[in-house]
Amino acid sequence: MVSRTVLAVDDNEDNLDLIEDALSKEEFTVIRARSGPDAMSLLMSRQIDLVLLDIMMPDMNGFAVLEMIRFIPRLMNTSVIIQTAHGDEWNVERAKDLGAKAVLSKPISPSELLEEVRGWLIPCAGR
C-alpha cells in the first residue's frame, strides 16, 4: 500500500493522539495541526491526501478552514472529513454544503475513523 498523508486539525491534543494512534497502525502518515492557520500553512506547503478537521477551534474555526480549502484552486479537490462534538443538523448540513465528504461525531470511535479514512483514501474501497 502506498502511504497516504492525513492532516489532523484539532486544538485538543488528546483528540490528535487518538487520531494518530488509529491511523498510524494502518501506515497512514499523520501530520498534526493545532489551529486553522497552522492547517492552512501545512496544506500550502505539503502534499496532503485528506484532512480531518475539527469545527470548534479558536482563531479560525473549521468552517472557515474548509471555505479556504474550497476557494484555493490547488486545494479545492482535497478530501475533508469534519469531526465535531456538535453534530446537530445545522453543522452537518453546513459541512456538507461546503464540500465535506463526511461528518464524524466526537468522541470519535477509532474503528469508525479508520473505516471512513480508508473509504476515501484506499482505491476500490467502495466509494
pLDDT in tens, 25-36: 888 999 999 999
Residue 126 domain-assigned?
no
Asked whether 114 and 81 are in contact (CB, 8 A), the reply is no
Is position 127 within any domain? Answer: no
Residue 36 in 3-state DSSP? Answer: helix
Q: How far apart are CA 36 and CA 43, in angstroms?
A: 10
| Average pLDDT of the residues of the chain | 91
In Å, how far are 9, 94, 95, 98 from 64, measured between CA atoms?
Answer: 13, 11, 11, 10
**Residue 85 covered by a domain:** yes
Asked if 26 and 52 touch (Cβ cutoff 8 Å), the reply is no
Question: Total domain count for the chain?
Answer: 1
Could you report the per-residue pLDDT of 47-77, keeping only the tens digit for each?
999 999 999 998 899 999 999 999 999 999 9
The whole-model pTM stands at 0.92
- Please list, residue by residue across 40-66, b when 16 or more beta carbons sit within 10 angstroms of its beta carbon and e when fewer do: bebbeeeebbbbbbbbbbeebebbbbb
Domain of 82 in residue numbering reads as 5-121
What CATH number did the domain enclosing 37 receive?
A: 3.40.50.2300
pLDDT tens digits, 71-115? 999 999 999 999 988 768 888 899 999 999 999 999 989 999 999
Sign, CA dihedral 115-15-44-4, equals negative
Query: Using an 8 Å Cβ cutoff, are 79 and 51 in contact?
Result: yes
Q: Is it true that the peptide bond before 107 is cis, omega within 30 degrees of 0?
A: yes
38 domain residue, yes or no: yes
Residue 69 and residue 75 in contact, taking contact as beta carbons nearer than 8 Å:
yes
